Structure 1
Amino acid sequence: MRASVETATNDRLRSVGGILGATYPDGGDDSIQLFTEGDDLHEAMIAAIENAKESIRLEVFIFAADEVGWRFARALSAKARAGVDVRFHFDARGAATGYSAHLFQEMVKAGVKLKWYRPWSWRHPTRYFQRNHRKLLVIDEQRLFLGGFNIRRENSRALCGDGRQRDAHVSIKGELAREAAAVFDQTWKHPDRYTVEVISADGAESDRPKSPRPTYLGWKGMARLYADVIGRSRRSVYITTPYFCPGGIVEQAMREAAKRGMDVRLLVPRDSDPPFVGWLTRSAYSSLMAAGIRIYEYVSPPRGKLHAKTAVIDDDWCVIGSANLDHLSLFVNHELVLVARNGRLAKALRDQYSEDLLEAVEVQPKVWAERSWTERSLEALGWVGRKLL
C-alpha cells in the first residue's frame, strides 16, 4: 500500500524520519503509560531491562556517570553477561555531560555493544552539528520507552528535590515496539543515512526512499508533522516546549488555528538555558499574541524545571517525544516523537498541562507592550537569530 508523508492517514501506523504514529483504542489496558517524573520512569525502565529475555536497544542523548547512570550501566551489564543482546547508541556530544570512561569501559567488558554517534572529526567538522537527540529504549521488540528524559540525576526528585528537571515520557507495548526497533537499527547500521518510511496499518511497507544524506523532504518531515496535527484542530491546541523557534511552517499553523477560533496556548519556561534561547522565544511573542495565541511562562521552582516536549490537540491527538520546537530538533538532529490518537493519553497530558498552568504566568499583551528597552534589544537579537536559523 503506497503512501506519502503528506497523505498518511490517521489510521496508519507510521514511522516518518523519526516519527512513530498510531491510533490506540481507549480503554483500561496498559498498552500505553505516561511518565512525568524521572524517578517513576527510571524504576519502570530498570524493571523492563531486568526482565529482558532477548534484546535491549538504548539510545539517549545524555547518559551521566552519576547515581542514575551507574544504576542503568550495572543493569545493562548484567543482562549482557546473561547473554542478552544489548546495544547502546549514545551521542558523542551529549555523552560529554557527566562523562566517565570507566563507566563505559565497564559496560564494554560486560559485553554491551556501544557506539558513539558522530564524535568530533577534524576531517568532517560540520557533521558535529547534527546530533542524535533521541531517548529510546526497546525491550525484546515488545515494549518501548520514548520521550524527553535523559538518564541523569537532574531528573530525579529523590536526588534533587523539587528543583529537579521535569519532562514527559511514554511506555508502549505491542506492534509499535517493533517499528521503534527498526528505527534504532537504521541509525545503528547507517548513522549517516536519513530514511523516510511509511508503514501501513497491516504492517506492509511502502516505498522507502533512501539517500546518503538527508533530503529536503526528510529535513522537513518533523515540522510538517507538527503543522499537520495542528491543522487538524477543531477546538484546542496546547503546546509545551522548553525552546520555541520552530520556523515559519509550525508558527503559521498555530496562527491559522488561532484565527479559526481555536484555543491555542503555548507554555514555555520563563528562565531559559542558555539565556539566548529565551530571546529567540520571546521575539515571537508579539506576532503570536496578535494572532490570538495565549502564552504562558512556567516559573520554577518550586515544582522544578520544565523541559517537557508535548502537544495535545482537541483532547484527542497528542505528540510526545524528544523534539524541541526549534530549528535543531525540527530540521537538523535525529529525533523521535510519538503521534497518537488516544483519548486517555491526551487527557493525561491535558491534566498535566492544567497543573503546569497553575505554576505559570500568562503573558498579557498590554503588559508586554510596556516592557523595557533592554528587553526589546535582547529580543531584537533573538529575532536576528531566528532569521539566521
Structure 2
Amino acid sequence: MTSPAIPFVASSSYPVRAGNRVRPLIDGEPAFRRICQAIEMARESVQVTVTFMWAAFEMPDGRGSTLDVLDRAAARGVDVRLVFWRPDAETERHRRNAFWGSAAHVGLLEARRSAVKIRWDRAHPGFCQHQKSWLIDAGADGETAFVGGINLNPHSMVAPGHHGEGHNHDVYVELAGPSTVDVHHNFVQRWNEASERLAPDGRWGAGSETDLPFPTRIPAPCGGATVQVQRTIHAGRYCDGTAAPGGHAFDVARGERSVFDQYRAAIDAARRSIYIENQYLDVPDIVDCLHRALERGVDVVLLMPAEPDVTLPVSPERRAVLDSRARLGAFANFMLAGLAGLGADRRRKPVYVHDKLMLIDDAWATVGSCNLHRYSLFGNGEMNVSFAEPDTVRALRCELLHEHLGRDTAGLDDRAALELFRRIAKENRTKRDAEDPAWQGLAFELDAATHVG
C-alpha cells in the first residue's frame, strides 16, 4: 500500500520548507561528539538553549565540560550565547539539575573568566523552558542546527548498544538547509525576551545586555527533506511576532501548540505503521488518535521507560487516561515496550527512554524535546523538527531497531519490522519473567494494563 503524504500543520509559527538535510544522532555520545565537532569548526557564532546542565558534565573524547568546549570557542572570537532555564518557586525541585544562575554558578563563571554570554529565562509559572537546541554560525553559509531531547548530564553519555543501569536512550537530529533559519529565529525570540534579562542576576558576560536582530536570510537548499519546525509556547510568554524569513507574522503572544497539532494530524494520517519513543503518554487526544489508528489496522509500537520516573500525580483525571491507554493493549497490532541492558552482574537493568520521537509509515518523522504529557504539549517551551524524507526515516527506523532488537531490519518493510519487534519483545518478556538474561537485544514487552509512565 502506498501511504499518502503525512500533513504538516498550519498552526506553526514556521513554514514548511523543502531542501533540507536531516541526520539523526542516536544516543548521547555520538550526538555530543558531533555537536562538539561543529562547535570546534564554528567561525562566527554558537547559540544554545539549555534546560538541564550539570556543571561538571564531561563531553566525549576528553574535551572537558560543556563550559570548557564553549569557552574555547569564545576564546578564539566566536560569539557564544546561551539561554538557560531558571526554575521558579513551583518548579524549584528541578534546580539541582539546572544551571540556573545561583551564586555558585556565577562564581564558577567568574573563576573561569568565561567569555560566553548568558541570559536566564523562566517559563510560565509551574512550567519548564524545555527546548534543547544548538545552532552553529547562525545566518552564515554552512549554518547548522541540532534539535532534540538530550540533557547535559552523565546519564546521557552513552554509546549506542552499551546501555546499562542509569543510562538514558535519547536522540537528536542535525539539521542543515532552509529550516535552520527557524531555529535561529526561535533563539533570537527567546534571547531578546528572556524573562530575567533586566534582573541584576539575570544575565552574564560582556555583551549579554545587547539584543539580537532577527534573521533575514534563508539558507540555501542542501538536501531532500521537507521540514517544519514546531513548538509549544505558552500564551503571554513572548510578544514579538516578527515573521521568520519566508514565513508569516505570528501572534506569539497568543501561544503556540503546533507540536500537539502535528502529533494528532500525523497519527490520523498513518496508514501502515506508527513507532513512538517517549517518556510519557497520558494525553487523552493522543490516546484517542492511536485507538482510531489501531482500529483501521495500523501497526503501533510504543517504547517507554520500563521503570518510569513518575513525577506526575496519578489524579483521577490521569487515571482515566491511563485506563484508556491500557485498552490499546487489547489490539494484536499494538505493543507497549521498554528497554533493559545487561549490568555488570549480568542481570538485566532498565534503560530510561528519554527521547521524544515518532515515525510514520517509514516516510515521516518528528524528533525534539516534547513529551506526550500536558506540560510539554500545553505549557512548557518545546521545539520539535518534523520531516518527510523516506530514505532518512527508514534508515532511522533500521538504526533504532538494530539497537533495540539486535537485528538488522533493512530487508523488512515497516510493518514486518514492527511485527518482528513485537515477537522479540514478547520472547524477551518471557525470559525476563524467568530471570534469564540471555535476550535478543534490549526490548521487552510491558504490561499495558499496569504501566503508569
Q: TM bucket by the smaller chain? A: 0.7 to 0.9
Q: Which residue does 2:429 correspond to in 1?
A: none
**What secondary structure, in the 3-state scheme, does the structure 2 residue paired with 1:238 have?**
strand
Distance 1:247 1:360 in 2: 26
Shift in Å, 1:154: 1.2
3-state SS of 2:382 partner: coil
Counterpart residue number, 1:132: 129
**Matches of 2:65 and 2:156 in 1, distance apart?**
14
Pairing partner for 1:312 from 338, 354, 359: 359
Question: Cα 1:165–1:196, aligned 2, differ >3 Å: closer, same or farther?
Answer: farther
Tell me by how many angstroms 1:74 deviates: 1.3
Q: 1:38-85: CA deviations, max 9, x gaps? A: 111111111111111111100121111124275220121122232221
The one-letter amino acid of 2:30's match is: D
- Deviation string 1:206-264 (CA, Å, 9 cap, x unpaired) is 232232xx44xx2x32211110111221211111111111232x222222222222112
Indicate how the Cα distance of structure 1 residues 138 and 347 shifts in structure 2: closer, same or farther if over 3 A, else same. same
Aligned equivalent of 1:244: 281
- SS at the partner of 2:182? helix
- Counterpart contact for 1:12–1:23, Cα < 8 Å: no
Partner of 2:181: 178
Matched, 1:360 2:360: no
Q: Write out aligned runs for 1:20-99 (5 A).
A: 22-23=17-18, 31-68=21-58, 71-93=65-87, 96-97=96-97, 99=99
Please state whether the residue corresponding to 2:65 is helix, strand or coil.
Answer: helix
Deviations 1:300-338 (A, max 9, x none): 333732212110000000010110111111000010101
Residues 335-370 of structure 1: CA deviation (Å, up to 9, x unaligned): 0101000123211332244343553333567xx4xx
Q: Hey, what does 1:297 align to over in structure 2? A: 337
TM-score normalised by length of structure 2? 0.66
TM-score by length of 1: 0.76
Q: Distance in 1 between matches of 2:372 and 2:240?
A: 21
Q: Supply the distance in 1 between the matched residues of 2:113 and 2:15 (Cα, whole angstroms).
A: 34
User: Hey, what's the Cα distance between the residues in 2 that align with 1:194 and 1:267?
Assistant: 37
When residues 272 and 197 of structure 1 are mapped into structure 2, their CA distance, relative to the original with a 3 A threshold, is farther
Question: How far 1:134 sits from its partner (Å)?
Answer: 0.6
Contact 2:358 2:365 in 1 (8 A): yes
Give distance in 1, aligned partners of 2:30 and 2:369: 18
Q: Is 1:16 matched with 2:12?
A: yes
Query: For 1:196 and 1:291, how far apart are their aligned partners in 2?
Result: 45
Q: How does 1:153-172 map to 2 (within 5 A)?
A: 153-157=154-158, 162-163=164-165, 164-172=167-175
For residues 357 and 40 of structure 2, the distance between their equivalents in structure 1, rounded to whole angstroms, comes to 29
Q: Select which of 323, 326, 333 maps to 1:286.
A: 326
Alignment of 1:206 with 2:208, yes or no, is no
| Matched length | 339
Assess if the C-alpha contact under 8 Å between 2:267 and 2:274 holds in 1: yes
Structure 1 residues 20 and 284: CA distance shift in structure 2, 3 A: farther
Query: 2:197: which partner in 1?
Result: none
Tell me which of 249, 266, 269 is aligned to 1:229.
Answer: 266
Q: How has the CA–CA distance of structure 1 residues 286 and 98 changed in structure 2, closer, same or farther, with 3 Å as cutoff?
A: closer
C-alpha distance in 2 between matches for 1:115 and 1:363: 42
Letter in structure 1 aligned against 2:247: E
Supply the distance in 1 between the matched residues of 2:9 and 2:136 (Cα, whole angstroms). 19
Taking a change above 3 Å as real, the CA distance of residues 255 and 245 of structure 1, as seen in their structure-2 partners, is same
Which residue is equivalent to 1:274?
310
The residue type paired with residue 193 of structure 1 is Y
**Given that residues 306 and 351 in structure 2 are in contact (C-alpha distance below 8 angstroms), is that contact kept between their aligned partners in structure 1?**
no
- Change beyond 3 A, Cα 1:240–1:351: same
- SS of residue matched to 2:119: strand
Q: Tell me the distance in 1 between the aligned counterparts of 2:153 and 2:33.
A: 13
- Matched residues, percent identical? 23
Aligned counterparts of 1:298 and 1:259: Cα–Cα separation in 2: 23
Larger displacement relative to structure 2 (128-137 or 85-94)? 85-94
**Structure 1 residues 10, 175: closer, same or farther in 2, change over 3 A?**
farther
* CA distance in 1 between partners of 2:310 and 2:382 (Å): 20
Q: How far did 1:16 drift?
A: 2.0
For structure 2, the residue ranges without an aligned partner over 5 or more in a row are 88-93, 195-236, 343-349, 405-420, 422-440
Measure, in 1, the Cα distance between the counterparts of 2:168 and 2:107: 23
Tell me how far apart the structure 2 counterparts of residues 153 and 346 of structure 1 sit (CA, whole Å).
28
Kept in 1, the 8 Å contact 2:356–2:371? The answer is yes
Higher helix share goes to which structure? 1
Match for 1:193 among 238, 257, 274?
Answer: 238
Deviation at 1:21, TM superposition (A): 5.3
Q: Report the equivalent of 2:227.
A: none
Letter in 1 for 2:304: V
Distance 1:237 1:33, change over 3 A: same
Query: Which residue in the other structure is 2:427 paired with?
Result: none
Provide the residue aligned with 2:370 in structure 1: 323
Q: Does the C-alpha gap of structure 1 residues 137 and 289 become closer, same or farther in structure 2, counting only changes over 3 Å?
A: same
User: More deviation in 133-142 or 298-307?
Assistant: 298-307
C-alpha RMSD of the superposition? 3.3
C-alpha displacement of 1:13: 11
1:144 alignment partner AA: A
Counterpart residue identity of residue 42, structure 2 = A
Match of 1:371 in 2: none
Is the contact between residue 309 and residue 320 of structure 1 (CA under 8 Å) also seen in structure 2?
yes
Q: Are the structure 2 counterparts of residues 270 and 11 from structure 1 closer, same or farther at C-alpha, using a change threshold of 3 Å? A: closer
Q: Structure 1: which amino acid aligns with 2:169?
A: R
